[in-house]
Structure 1
Amino acid sequence: MNEIVERVAAQAGISPEQAQKAVEAIAGFVKEKFPMLEGAVENMFKSGGGNDTGGTGLGNLGGFGGFGQK
């Protein structure tokens, strides 16, 4: 599971599955409100690697806007 999903789950006190849906909703919002970033968001999802739940490729979301960075 990627770091951002783990953090959302831990900090919000929700399941990893719920956190995954929340992260996907945020990504969808970013793509909708900032269409010029759609390609970048899609590329981040595709380059995530195999440690994701749900196969969405969110593993590289940590590089987006400081999400997942320590």
Structure 2
Amino acid sequence: MQDLINRLMAEGLTEQQAYKSIEVIKNFAKEKFPIFGGAIDKLFDKYGPKDEDDFLD
């Protein structure tokens, strides 16, 4: 996940914006593929920030 965050930051996003983008993608995937909602949560939670509240205002 950090590789993706780094790529987003290389494209000009701040770290907070990069993490927020990941959150939007996660929610989009869960909406489009609800049967995989649990797996998506586990994947993103495993590789997400340790203190998500620090990044999502």
* TM over 0.5, shorter chain: yes
Deviation at 1:53, TM superposition (A): 5.8
Which sections of structure 2, spanning at least 5 residues, go unmatched?
A: none
- % same residue: 36
> Of 52, 55, 66, which residue of structure 1 is paired with 2:52?
55
Q: CA RMSD in A?
A: 2.4
Which whole-Å CA distance do the structure 2 matches of 1:8 and 1:30 have between them? Answer: 18
Q: What's the counterpart of residue 41 of structure 1?
A: 40
More helix by share: 2
Alpha carbons of structure 1 residues 23 and 46: separation in structure 2 relative to 1, 3 Å: closer
With a CA cutoff of 8 Å and minimum separation of 6, indicate the structure with the bigger relative contact order: 2
Which sections of structure 1, spanning at least 5 residues, go unmatched?
A: 57-70
Aligned residues: 53
Alpha carbons of structure 1 residues 16 and 53: separation in structure 2 relative to 1, 3 Å: farther
After superposition, the C-alpha distances for 1:15-41 in whole angstroms (9 at most, x for unaligned) are 011011011101100001110121111
Which whole-Å CA distance do the structure 1 matches of 2:20 and 2:45 have between them? Answer: 16
